[in-house]
Amino acid sequence: KSDSDTYTCDIGDAQSRAKLVVQETPVLFKQELKNEEAKEGKQVKLTCELSKPDTPVKWMKGDTVLYASEKYEFKQCGTVAELIIRDVKSIDS
């Protein structure tokens, strides 16, 4: 996107200009989240894979945004985003 601009070919006595507009590629899920089951007190990892590396990810439970804490850990490497939920309880369903 940052390459969008007007470019010029200059031969001294004449110039030719063109405008380049770079359209962003939409981010898609290469791998969707999968349903998981876990026993109380265990740890669960939810993983999804995106089509574009290092895309910002916001994790939510229902309509509530999750934040990193002792309960929730977020990891992201390239196209893979992970949510780790520690010490799961029935309320985490």
pLDDT of 18-39, one tens digit each?
A: 999 998 888 888 888 999 999 9
Collapsing DSSP states into helix, strand and coil, what is residue 56? Answer: coil
- Residue 33: what residue type? L
CATH class for the domain made up of 31-85: mainly beta
Collapsing DSSP states into helix, strand and coil, what is residue 84? Answer: strand
The DSSP code for 90 is: G
State the pLDDT at residue 29.
Answer: 87
Name the average pLDDT for the chain: 92
- Copy the structure tokens of residue 26: 């939409």
Q: Dump pLDDT digits (tens) for 75-85.
A: 999 999 999 99
Domain ranges of the chain: 31-85
Output 27 or 87, whichever has higher pLDDT.
87
Give the Cα separation of 16 and 27 in Å (integer).
35
The residue among 53, 58, 78, 80 whose CA lies nearest residue 68 is: 58
